[in-house]
A and B are shown apart, each in its own frame.
Chain A
Amino acid sequence: MNTPEQAAENPARLDLGAIRAKLNGVRGQDYWRSLEEIAETREFQELLHREFPPGASEWWDGLNRRNFLKMAAATLALSGMTACTKQPTRQIFPYVNQPQELVLGQPLFYASSMLLGGFATGVLVKSREGHPIKVDGNPEHPSSLGASSVWMQTSILGLYDPDRSQTVNHAGDISTWALFLSDLNDLLREQAPKKGAGLRFLTETITSPTLAAQLNDLQKKFPGSKWCQYDPITRDNVREGARLAFGRLVEAHYQFDKAAVIVALDADFLYIHPERLRYTRQFTDGRRVSFGKREMNRLYVVESTPTVTGSMADHRLPLASAQVEDLARVMAQQLGAATQGAANVLSPEQTAWLAALVGDLKQHHAASIVIAGEWQPPIVHALAHLLNQTLGNVGNTVHYTEPAEAHPVNQIDSLRELAAEMKSGAVDALFILGGNPVYNAPADLEFGSNLAKVKRSIHLGLELDETAALSTWHIPQAHYLESWSDARAFDGTVSLMQPLIAPLYDGKSAHEVLGAMVQQQPVRSDYEIVREFWQTQKPWPDFELGWRKSLHDGFITGTQAPAVTVRMKEGFAGTLASESKMTPAQPVVIKTSPSPQAASDAGDPFAPASRKVVHIENLELCFRPDPNLWDGRFANNGWLQECPKPISKLIWDNAVLISPSLAERSGLAANDVVEVSFQGRTLRGPVWVMPGQAENTLTLHLGYGRSRGGRVGRGVGFDAYPLRTADAPWLGTGAKLVTTEASHQLVSTQLHHNLHSPERQIYRSATLDELRAQPDIIKKTVEIPPRDETLYNPDEYKYNAHRWGMSIDLTTCIGCNACVVACEVENNIPVVGKDQVSRGRDMLWLRVDTYYKGALDNPGFSHMPVPCMHCEHAPCELVCPVEATLHDSEGLNLQVYNRCVGTRFCSNNCPYKVRRFNFLQYTDYHTPSLKPMYNPEVTVRWRGVMEKCTYCVQRIAAARIASEKENRRIRDGEVKTACQEACPAVAIVFGDLNDPDAKVTQLKRQPLDYPMLGQLNTRPRTTYLAKVENRNPETTDKRPV
């Protein structure tokens, strides 16, 4: 088609014949101007309709002026629509006066203390821009020595828990502190004439001098009132044991680093004992065999259920808890502590086991420790005291002090008395200051129903738990990171607690609640109360100076309890023989009966043939605090719920632990739900077959089956408290087990505990005697191919500056999981839930593998923490198609989340399987209260990317900045990984391998050093020090090494 311009230049050829024909038919005044007009060519028509001649520009008709204006108006209107979202007004206030210590972007550390079981452990809390983000041990504090426990590490989540109680509640409705105070006024007015006869205070174990003073003051004001204490993880047996042996209350302290032989009678002194962190350090210090040291302590453990301490034993005897007393008596008899003893009721194997132990103890006079566990009856504790005295340990490895508790009482008796008073209606008002007795009081005291008979019950707690639901008043408690207080450590050291953040939900501390009872106006804050108390104590010549120093340190120096000399009660040894013994356990009976459904199945050909009910009678029942949830107070803590329990590696559940032999005899298997009955009470729970469990013992862990509290812990596991009575808080005989048809899926993060073949070169161990005989026993079996045996350039990376590496000591690792949770907190590791873990998708960057060896009934346990190995020839790096995982100049194996597309090839090619993948969106981006908890130095990962241990690269970066500012190298020990910092056993050492004097370099020169799977030529930077066991050559128990 021609354009008009072209048409003007080259008019179309005209058909003159047609024009002629047309004109012939025209009549009248028809003018024509040109031939084109007559021919009615398109060009002419166009010309007629054009306003302007060709070449003059004009609007395209599709968008005329009107349309343009319409469009412009619409555009304006539409762009104006964006204004429909009202942007929130935000104001930014710069600091007019910069706070003195605060540098934005730099963390601050404050010393404080965390309480568990009433005893304080010193903590150092890391705070970023005003919010605490990590809790670690206070290196100066005697109960911590810088180490931390799983509970300390995860307590940060307790602070930010979105399910914490947030308001004062009155009879289930939201109320206010002011209304509570007015009700309190009424109460006190009522009670004043009765001298407070109807007032009762129920606390957990109290070591706080300030709180004790407040309670004592109140008792002076209201002489009729009573103060009861109850902690479900009660140490009553320890107290009564001391009373039995010495006639008075004393606390025993042990020095494990000085002991050559340690005997634990059902005692989990490495994990449950209040002094767990210090004891772990001392115990493991006594076991280190590096740097030419060839001496180590020897640990004998007698226990009914495998514990962290039991897993460290050189000789372990699974024995029913009730039989430990027999063993202790025979031991005392054989060591000459008790002249007359009970008849030896032990089996020949047990006797032989004991003989080796007794022989060992005799050889190590004054260098041994006998320690009894919290769950053993007082007589066993008394026997342990007696044995320590006989063996000459007192004054050497054992010393005694006054208890650190402010007011030590028999807590079960105390609670029993309170329950009776509540039942009789004598209690007008009950102040429950912390704790959750409705959930965790002994079942036979019926605390919940008795609480209903109390007119006013006031509950102070962190969450709206079972007790809060039944109380008249509930006051939200301030978290320990939000409040001022003080408490004593196990050794008596007064430890101070200071808040890191203002109470998130206007919580109150126990000090403030008690303070309100003494003086309501002006309301005194916990800071004033604690500070004023210490002002009256005058511990320092210059109060302000001393107070500030103590706050800085986290404790008051020199306040540990002095050693006291105690003497055995006259004739205690003599009375042993005459004392009546526990009734010997009845033999276990296993019966089968047809299922009640079998009758109805009679005509059903598809009914399972083996539908039988198995009844097992006369079993021993043991209660234990849960290794993660303790007494249940940590049930809403996802990190703890998902932390694999030591040894069994179970998560998100508790179980009825049974022995393999009982499982074999009764046909029970893991996940079978059973009914356990004890003293007429019954519960249902799934079975877990636990190697190393005493043959006829059932173990139930407390703390699960919460019906209230928070969305994480509610309904997880089963509640074991309903079987726990005041008479048998830890141990009962005559329990009955009945099988059911039901099944409950338990989830363990480790399904295989067998190393299969030593050729795998994963876990290496030797006995001390073997090591003494040939110091290179480990080195000479390690097969490492030459460095250049690779397809790629072996010198691709030079590592001129730093060469980061880690050494993990398998001899001292106790498998306590502190490193695992420390890693989670430091690195913002999400909680994924039971379902995801059951699919094999736990996100632990650092895991602790536990391997069994030897017999099923009494295996040896070996713990192996496995972080990323940071291989020099990393298999993962080669296979990533986008180079999202790569090597850096210091040998770190980095993971770039932004670049990761999620092929997961790196994980497939990782022989150590330490990589973790975000299969779904695991990180919680939305819960507001969790946002300030995340470590701002670590990227929060999203769905579809791989992640793994980074050797805490953010800490290396911080140290690098600090060192560059001072123009020096990073010093040894300046970078501590989160796992290393937490480890109570100092089993993890990190550092620069280019520094010949660094601790890690020296450890790697030890003959025990070996790489995991070294034969693959991955050249891992994380290496292990092989496990050394100190076996008694005279032993009779067999365990392959």
Chain B
Amino acid sequence: METIQGSEPQLRVPGKPYVVTPLDYPAVLIAAKDYQQVSDQIADIPLVHPRKREWLAGFSIACLLLLMFMVAVGYLLYRGVGIWGINIPVAWGFAITNFVWWIGIGHAGTFISAILLLLLQKWRTTINRFTEAMTLFAVICAGMFPLLHLGRPWVFYWLLPYPDTMALWPQFRSPLVWDVFAVSTYFTVSLLFWYLGIVPDLATVRDKARTKWRRIFYGLGALGWRGSAVHWQNHQSAYLLLAGLATPLVLSVHSVVSFDFAVAQLPGWHSTIFPPYFVAGAIYSGFAMVLNLVIPIRRLYGFQNLITERTLNNMACVMLATGWMVTYGYIMEAFMAWYSGEPFDRAMMWDRAFGAYGWVFWLLMTVNVFIPQLLWSRWVRTHPVPLFFVALSVNVGMWLERFVIVVQSLHHDFVPSSWRMYFPTKWDWMTLFGSIGLFLTLLFLFIRYLPMISISESRELIAQRKEGRL
């Protein structure tokens, strides 16, 4: 047993691939040797581009999906939203489900970067850059859906408060207008936060780059960063300020998105629990998506020394916690439907569980509530392969949850004569998977051309380790 001053005791247990704490939790935050190794390991990816073949394979698949997305969107703009399965009463279908799902995924980045930064959680260091990028791309995907789902998408700007010659304004009582503000603010702040964080690393890559074009490319991005103490001083203050700014956004964006439903009077939508329930769900799915992306990349680029089992374990713990918040939401929805005594809410809840979409609901319960209970097992939390599949199940589950909320509530509301099923068409599916293609394409470009792990912050970790502050 080797005890470093100021840090927790660490044990090496036979049969465990990692060092553990006395309570048997993974202990090591970062396993890189020294500064040089960290810089080289991370900066080599954009500069040297190891694993070219794997990257190309993945990128090609992503591009094919993106192409499918473009076909689906092109036809959508040509024909109209009638190519989807939506109808009256189910006027919102996959598009809004996808929107809420993507926005939810977009929550992990800011949560990890901002809230965990403020809470001094060091383990976020090696994944924050990556998740912030994921957030940006997820919000890009999310932001497209409310526009595409419009009957007349070419007049989307009517939702913005701009000086119209006819003095027309958006209707500020509508949650859809709040949505426009919430999502655009969130995107702007996330972009700034991400870019601010990447500036010192771009400078590192610039300095390591050998060709002219790379130097120009990264040099432009680095904004003349020279790493002076003043730079660092300003950078750190700005970073902390932005973190403070981004923190309430994590809570507000999905609260506002939940108002799209909660403000309506539809049974299944009209519920006061929606804002916290949606935020918890967003973080839940966000972490699941991070795990789904980090686990393969960690293996592909050999980042096990930077993204350690401890990071995986912590993320799994966050998932378990938020998963139970979401489960509490499910229980409360059912309880309130019964307790309110409202015939419509009761009928809706009954239909949700045992109606035409009952199988979706039980599938949702399985993948979103029951399977994640595997995370109680330390073994699952610290082994990438099982953890990957649990995270995948949560991602599917959270999509299903939004589907159930959007579609099931609509298909079975007040007047029985208008009840009707919603059946997605091939265009619905193409748009869903196509948007994943857009997301993956952006992500592949990001890991190829930009430092996907914060070099400066990882080096800071090593410094702290050396000083025994870890």
Contacts and interface: CB of A to CB of B under 8 A. Distances in A.
Contacts of B264: 875, 879, 905, 908-909
Contacts of B146: 903
Instruction: Assign chain B's interface to a size class.
Output: 35 or more
A591 to B, nearest CB: 35
A904 B92 contact: yes
A759 interface: yes
Given A752-B417, A915-B88, A882 B171 contact: yes
A2 interface: no
Given A899-B158, A902-B150, A909 B266 contact: yes
A909 B265 contact: yes
A506 interface: no
Given A751-B419, A882-B170, A903-B176, A840 B151 contact: no
Interface string B418-460: 1110010000000000000000000000000000000000000
Identify the interface centre among B263, B415, B420: most chain A CB within 10 Å of its CB. B415
A908 B408 CA distance: 12
A57 to B, nearest CB: 39
Interface string A852-883: 00000000000010100000000100111111
Interface string B71-98: 0000000011111011111111000000
B279 to A, nearest CB: 22
Contacts of B420: 751, 840
B152 A902 contact: yes
Contacts of A1012: 415
A866 B168 CA distance: 32
A762 to B, nearest CB: 6
Contact of A881 (B86, B174, B410, B413): B174
Contact of B81 (A760, A851, A878, A944): A944
B156 interface: yes
Given A921-B80, A944-B80, A840 B89 contact: yes
Contacts of B417: 750, 752-753, 847, 849-851, 864, 866
A54 interface: no
Contacts of B89: 840, 907-908, 913
Contacts of A839: 85, 87, 423
Contacts, number: 165
Contacts of A1013: 414-415
A757 B414 contact: no
Identify the interface centre among B83, B159, B417, B420: most chain A CB within 10 Å of its CB. B417
Contacts of A878: 173-174, 263
Given A912-B414, A917-B151, A841 B170 contact: no
A757 B87 CA distance: 25
A750 B415 CA distance: 11
A752 B265 contact: no
A880 to B, nearest CB: 6
A911 interface: yes
A926 interface: no
Nearest to A904: B91
B176 A760 contact: no
Nearest to A942: B152
B259 to A, nearest CB: 10
B416 interface: yes
A757 B177 CA distance: 36
Contacts of B266: 908-909, 911
A913 B347 contact: no
A916 interface: yes
Instruction: Assign chain A's interface to a size class.
Output: 35 or more
A762 B414 CA distance: 9
A919 interface: yes
B276 interface: no
A764 to B, nearest CB: 14
Given A755-B416, A760-B414, A901-B151, A841 B265 contact: no
Contact of B415 (A911, A921, A945): A911
Dominant SS at the A interface? loop
Given A762-B415, A911-B415, A912-B415, A1016 B151 contact: no
B413 A882 contact: no
Contacts of B120: none
A412 interface: no
Contact of A883 (B79, B149, B170, B260): B170
Contacts of B175: 879
A754 interface: yes
B338 interface: no
Interface in B127-183: 146, 149-152, 155-156, 158-159, 168-171, 173-177, 180
B24 to A, nearest CB: 50
B344 interface: yes
A841 B423 CA distance: 13
B159 A752 contact: no
Contacts of B81: 902, 919, 944
Contacts of A879: 173-176, 263-264
B343 interface: yes
Contact of B80 (A899, A920, A946): A920
Interface in B386-432: 410, 413-420, 423
A913 B88 contact: yes
A901 B410 contact: no
Contacts of A169: none
A1017 B392 CA distance: 43
Contact of B150 (A759, A903, A911): A903
Contacts of B347: 756-757
Contacts of A921: 80
B283 to A, nearest CB: 26
B418 A913 contact: yes
A914 B245 CA distance: 44
A880 B151 CA distance: 13
A911 to B, nearest CB: 4
A841 B87 contact: yes
B469 to A, nearest CB: 51
B343 A759 contact: yes
Contacts of A841: 82, 87-88
Contact of A836 (B82, B92, B149): B82
Interface in B197-214: none
Given A756-B416, A899-B168, A943-B80, A917 B150 contact: no
Contacts of B82: 836, 841, 919-920, 943
Contacts of B158: 882, 899, 901
Given A760-B343, A840-B90, A840-B420, A902 B176 contact: no
A900 interface: yes
B307 to A, nearest CB: 41
Interface in A811-861: 836, 839-841, 847, 849-851
Nearest to A756: B416
A946 B151 CA distance: 9
Contacts of A945: 151-152
A280 B165 CA distance: 54
A907 B88 CA distance: 7
B404 to A, nearest CB: 15
A903 B146 CA distance: 8
Contacts of B414: 760, 762, 911-913, 1013, 1016
Given A757-B347, A840-B87, A917-B88, 12 more contacts: A759-B343, A762-B415, A836-B82, A840-B89, A879-B173, A881-B180, A904-B86, A908-B91, A908-B410, A909-B266, A912-B414, A919-B81
24 contacts: A754-B416, A757-B347, A878-B174, A878-B263, A879-B174, A879-B263, A880-B171, A881-B171, A882-B158, A883-B171, A900-B151, A904-B92, A905-B260, A908-B264, A908-B410, A913-B89, A917-B88, A917-B91, A919-B82, A919-B87, A920-B79, A921-B80, A943-B152, A944-B151
Interface of B: 79-83, 85-92, 146, 149-152, 155-156, 158-159, 168-171, 173-177, 180, 260, 263-266, 343-344, 347, 410, 413-420, 423
In the complex, the 10 A-B pairs of residues with the closest C-beta atoms, listed nearest first: A902-B151, A944-B151, A840-B87, A919-B82, A920-B82, A904-B91, A913-B418, A849-B417, A881-B176, A759-B343
